[in-house]
Amino acid sequence: MTADAQTLGVIKLGDIAPDFEAETTKGKIRFHEWLGDAWGILFSHPRDFTPVCTTELGEVARLRSEFESRGVRVIGLSVDDVESHHTWEADIADIAGAEMWFPMIADPDRTVSSLYGMVHPNELDSATVRSVFIIDPAKRVRLMITYPASVGRNFAEIVRVIDALQRTSRYPVVTPANWTPGQRVILATSVPTDQARAAVGHDAEEIRPYLRLVADPGTN
């Protein structure tokens, strides 16, 4: 496995996601080439055959249509090897009732884990924490979340964030607290009201000069 040279583990929102080559359960990949022009999710696991991660991977397997309908490519990572991954995947498919349709990266030397700042020796013996990265078609990191070992990830929330990111990337809007598709969004403060209205195709309700609500343009 090889990774491009850069400062390890120092990633900020808006940075280009580090590129790397790795062996996966679907064969060897070059990460940026594998992403293409799609949105992507990279999420890590400390090791194979862990109970919380088994339920998480099963949930992602069941959500295949949700990710595919949004044009999102999903890839997991664990520090064990490909052979171990395949054995674990059989367990996951049996428990979840859904096949593992996305690749899992084998990262036994922690190359990708280090590159993405997933290493936290004080948290887990295997030194890789449970992180999520959402990456846009320009290869920029748009979201980062790190979960403790004891708390399962909420993939419904991750899908919701993808909807919000895709909406705000296409239109001059931002989303309010607890937003879900179909609910009103906020016009970006950087855009004049008339220009924003033309872009989203709806009239805005001005609650305050800085808080202008408009119908979800994604429902047009």
CA–CA separation, 3 and 204 (whole Å) = 47
Q: What is the DSSP letter of 17?
A: P
- Statement to judge: residues 133 and 43 lie in one domain: yes
Q: Looking at residue 53, which CATH number applies to its domain?
A: 3.40.30.10
- Give the tens place of pLDDT for each residue, 126-180: 555 789 999 999 999 999 998 888 899 999 999 999 999 999 999 999 999 999 9
Contacts of 100 (CB under 8 A, 6+ apart): 25, 57, 61, 89, 92, 93
Q: Is residue 163 in some structural domain?
A: no
CA–CA separation, 120 and 110 (whole Å) = 11
Provide the residue range defining the domain that includes 36: 2-153
Output the CA–CA distances (angstroms, integers) from residue 84 to 90, 91, 107, 192, 195, in the order listed: 10, 11, 12, 55, 55
Q: Do the bridges between strand 20-24 and strand 27-30 make them parallel or antiparallel, or are there none, so unpaired? A: antiparallel
Dihedral angle computed from the Cα positions of residues 134, 140, 146 and 151, in that order, rounded to the nearest 10 degrees: 0
- Statement to judge: residues 191 and 109 lie in one domain: no
- Statement to judge: residues 149 and 178 lie in one domain: no
- Statement to judge: residues 97 and 146 lie in one domain: yes
- Statement to judge: residues 214 and 179 lie in one domain: yes
Q: What is the DSSP letter of 217?
A: G
**Which pLDDT score, from 0 to 100, does residue 120 have?**
64
- Statement to judge: residues 104 and 60 lie in one domain: yes
Q: Is residue 164 in some structural domain?
A: no
- Statement to judge: residues 39 and 139 lie in one domain: yes
- Statement to judge: residues 182 and 144 lie in one domain: no
- Statement to judge: residues 107 and 39 lie in one domain: yes
CA–CA separation, 210 and 201 (whole Å) = 19
**Which pLDDT score, from 0 to 100, does residue 4 have?**
45
**Which pLDDT score, from 0 to 100, does residue 29 have?**
98
- Statement to judge: residues 146 and 195 lie in one domain: no
**Residue 128 three-state SS:** strand
Put simply, whether the predicted model's pTM sits higher than 0.75 gets the answer: yes
Q: Are 98 and 64 in contact (CB under 8 A)?
A: yes
For a pLDDT cut of 70, what percent of the chain falls above it? 91
CA–CA separation, 86 and 113 (whole Å) = 20
**Which pLDDT score, from 0 to 100, does residue 193 have?**
80
Average pLDDT, the chain: 90
Q: Is residue 160 in some structural domain?
A: no
Q: Is residue 116 in some structural domain?
A: yes
Question: Which residues are identified as catalytic?
Answer: 53
Q: Is residue 165 in some structural domain?
A: no
Q: Is residue 166 in some structural domain?
A: no
Which amino acid appears at position 171 of this protein?
Y
- Statement to judge: residues 105 and 177 lie in one domain: no
Q: 């949700």: which residue's tokens?
A: 66
Token pair of 186 as six digits:
């906020």
Instruction: Please tell me the total count of domains within the chain.
Output: 2
- Give the tens place of pLDDT for each residue, 98-127: 999 999 999 999 899 989 988 766 555 555
Output the CA–CA distances (angstroms, integers) from residue 148 to 44, 77, 78, 122, 128, in the order listed: 12, 16, 16, 11, 11
**Which pLDDT score, from 0 to 100, does residue 216 have?**
93
CA–CA separation, 14 and 146 (whole Å) = 17
- Statement to judge: residues 26 and 78 lie in one domain: yes
**Which pLDDT score, from 0 to 100, does residue 202 have?**
78
